[in-house]
């Protein structure tokens, strides 16, 4: 779906959505790519209102970004989803094709891999995941591409533990689960991916080892988290939620506009500027 001008539309849907940085990133890309007629807005949409919203979209729409709680709710509304999205039953990107079909993809997974590679992390022999939500399943799918050994997932309930082991089996990844009470042990892994809501890992900051390896914390606001701040202070490498957000948005822009490469640096700078102003 390429072309300059022409009034194409895209946007991000979710609830709550007011703090989404996606418009800042996508608009920065459009400006750099010279797509003057393109707009990208945020829309407060929940699971109940999603079918009606998607059903009313006209031919001017190029694509949608989806955040919580819509990443699974959107799947029945689509004509097709990619293998990547199907692997975790989670869609964060919808592209409208020229023949009117709705195609779903998941750019969080390759976005995580790209964010790690940007920091020189191509492969690890083991890893730990903190949390067990939708982002954690995407983290497991990313680890299936970079981790050669065991992944330990630290979770709060037996049901979540079973779910994470099932995802591991499905993704061909060796996943072992452990109780959240032992989460401090996770911090000694070569790669730790924190997928929990704001504040959840604050108590773990005191347990950061003297020589930490790499932390990938998917949060970006507020930033840094207590865990990320302590990790950096001890000399460990930190990949942030903004890194993930930018890399997955780069892939969305390329899919929705048909223009490649999307301007990674311009998008990151726009995101950093927006966060600094909050």
Catalytic residue positions? Answer: 71
CA distance 257 to 102: 15
Strand 175-179 to 237-239 pairing: unpaired
Pairing assessment for the beta strands 127-130 and 191-194 based on DSSP bridges: parallel
**First-to-last C-alpha distance (Å) of the chain:** 34
Between CA 108 and CA 195 the distance in angstroms is 12
Rg (CA), the chain: 19
Q: In whole angstroms, what is the distance from residue 60 CA to residue 72 CA?
A: 24
List the beta bridge partners of residue 12. Answer: 42, 65
**At a CB cut-off of 8 Å and minimum separation 6, what does 58 contact?**
none
Number of residues written out for the chain: 278
Please give the structure tokens belonging to residue 9. Answer: 């539309």
Give kind and range of the element (H or E) at residue 61.
strand 61-66
Query: How many whole angstroms separate alpha carbon 145 and alpha carbon 226?
Result: 28
């Amino acid at each position: 779906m390429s072309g300059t001008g022409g009034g194409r539309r895209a946007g991000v849907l979710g609830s709550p959505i007011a703090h989404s940085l996606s418009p800042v990133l996508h608009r920065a890309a459009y400006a750099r790519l010279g797509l003057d007629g393109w707009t990208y807005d945020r829309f407060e949409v929940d699971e109940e209102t999603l079918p009606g919203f998607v059903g009313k979209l006209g031919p001017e729409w190029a694509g949608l970004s989806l955040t919580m709680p819509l990443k699974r709710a959107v799947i029945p509304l689509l004509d097709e989803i990619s293998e990547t999205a199907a692997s975790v039953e989670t869609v964060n990107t919808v592209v409208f094709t020229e023949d009117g079909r709705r195609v779903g993809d998941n750019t969080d997974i390759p976005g995580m891999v790209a964010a790690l590679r940007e920091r020189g992390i191509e492969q690890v022999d083991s890893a730990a995941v903190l949390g067990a939500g939708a982002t954690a399943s995407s983290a497991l799918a990313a680890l299936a591409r970079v981790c050669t050994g065991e992944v330990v997932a630290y979770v709060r309930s037996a049901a979540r533990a079973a779910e994470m082991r099932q995802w591991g089996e499905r993704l061909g990844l060796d996943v072992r689960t452990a109780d959240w009470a032992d989460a401090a042990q996770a911090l000694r892994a070569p790669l730790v991916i924190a997928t929990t809501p704001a504040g959840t890992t604050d108590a773990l900051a005191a347990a950061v080892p003297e020589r930490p390896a790499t932390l990938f914390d998917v949060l970006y606001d507020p930033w840094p988290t207590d865990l990320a701040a302590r990790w950096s202070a001890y000399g460990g490498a930190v990949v942030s939620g903004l890194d993930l957000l930018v890399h997955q948005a780069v892939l969305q822009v390329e899919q929705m506009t048909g223009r490649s490469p999307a301007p990674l640096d311009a998008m990151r700078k726009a995101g950093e500027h927006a966060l600094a102003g909050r």
